[in-house]
Amino acid sequence: MRTLHPCRVEEKGSAFVLVTVFVLCAVAIVGAFFTTSLAKVHHVDLAAARSDALLAAEAGINAVASQVFRTYRSSTTWNRVAAVEELDGRLDEETRLRLPPTRIGSSHFEAEVRRVAGHGTEFADVEIVARGSNRYATRSVTAIIRYLSLPSAVFDHAYFINNFGWLWGSTITVNGSVRSNGDFSLRDATVNGDVYASESEELETVGAITGTVRFLPRDTYNASAPATARPTDPSATPEDLNGNGLLDPGEDRNGNELLDAFAFPDGYAGTCTRHEGEPAVEMPYLGEMEYYRRLALEKGGRISIAGRTIVTGVFGDTPGEGKDLVLVGTPLNPIGIDGPVVIDNDIALKGTITGQGTIYAGRNIHLLGDLVYASPPSWPKPMEDAGPVAGQNAGRDLVGLVARGSVILGNYTQSTWKSATSSYLKPPFTEPYIVDEADRDIGFVSFYDVEGRPRFHADYTAYDGGKKSGLNPTAITGLGDAGAWFQSPGGTTSRRFYESSFPDTFLSGLCSTEVRRVDGVIYTNHLLSGRIGRSAFNGTLVGRD
H/E/C letters for each residue in 125-179? EEEEEEEEECCCCEEEEEEEEEEECCCCHHHHCCEEECCCEEEECCCCEECCCEE
Alpha helices in 187-229 (DSSP H): 218-224
Please check the confidence at residue 142 and state whether its pLDDT lies above 80.
Answer: yes
Q: What is the pLDDT of residue 357?
A: 97
Q: What is the pLDDT of residue 245?
A: 82
For residues 137-153, average pLDDT:
88
pLDDT tens-place string over residues 2-19: 444 544 445 455 555 555
- How many Å apart are CA 233 and CA 31, to the nearest integer? 71
% of the chain residues with pLDDT over 70: 92
Please check the confidence at residue 397 and state whether its pLDDT lies above 90.
Answer: yes
30: pLDDT confidence band, cut at 50, 70 and 90?
A: low
User: DSSP letter string over 301-361?
Assistant: -EEEETTEEEEESEETSSTTS-SEEEEEE-SSS-EEEEEEEEESS-EEEEEEEEEEEEEEE
Q: What is the pLDDT of residue 130?
A: 95
76 Cα distance to chain centroid: 18
For residues 164-178, average pLDDT:
90
pLDDT tens-place string over residues 243-283: 888 888 887 887 777 888 888 888 999 999 999 999 998 88
> Which among 458, 534, 467 has a CA at the least distance from the CA of 501?
467
> Which among 279, 157, 154, 274 has a CA at the least distance from the CA of 209?
274
- CB count, 10 Å around CB of 470? 12
> Which among 43, 46, 49, 41 has a CA at the least distance from the CA of 108?
49
> Exposed e or buried b for every residue in 266-299, given b needs 16+ CB within 10 A?
ebbbbebeeebeeebbebbbbbbbebbbbbbbee
Which of 132-141, 144-153, 434-443, 478-487 has the lowest average pLDDT? 144-153
- How many Å apart are CA 390 and CA 231, to the nearest integer? 12
For residues 291-319, average pLDDT:
92
pLDDT tens-place string over residues 450-491: 888 899 999 999 999 999 998 889 999 999 999 999 998 788
Phi, psi of 55 (to 5 degrees): -60, -40
8 A C-beta contact, residue 49 and residue 136: yes
- How many Å apart are CA 106 and CA 110, to the nearest integer? 14
217: pLDDT confidence band, cut at 50, 70 and 90?
A: very high
Residues facing 358 on adjacent strands: 340, 400
Q: What is the pLDDT of residue 2?
A: 47
> Exposed e or buried b for every residue in 109-124, given b needs 16+ CB within 10 A?
bbbbbbebebeeeebb
% of the chain residues with pLDDT over 90: 60
Which of 1-5, 226-230, 377-381 has the lowest average pLDDT? 1-5
Q: What is the pLDDT of residue 299?
A: 92
Report the predicted TM-score, pTM, of the whole model to 2 decimal places: 0.78
Q: What is the pLDDT of residue 376?
A: 95
Q: What is the pLDDT of residue 24?
A: 57
pLDDT tens-place string over residues 70-88: 888 777 666 888 889 888 8
Please check the confidence at residue 313 and state whether its pLDDT lies above 90.
Answer: yes
pLDDT tens-place string over residues 50-61: 999 999 999 999
Residues facing 371 on adjacent strands: 351, 518
Which of 427-436, 477-486, 494-503, 528-537 has the lowest average pLDDT? 528-537
Q: What is the pLDDT of residue 494?
A: 94
Q: What is the pLDDT of residue 334?
A: 97
Which of 328-337, 402-411, 525-534 has the lowest average pLDDT? 525-534
pLDDT tens-place string over residues 88-111: 888 788 888 999 999 988 899 999
Q: What is the pLDDT of residue 28?
A: 57
8 A C-beta contact, residue 195 and residue 177: yes
| CA atoms 448, 454, 458, 464: torsion sign | positive
> Which among 42, 469, 227 has a CA at the least distance from the CA of 34?
42
Q: What's the whole-number average pLDDT of the chain?
A: 88
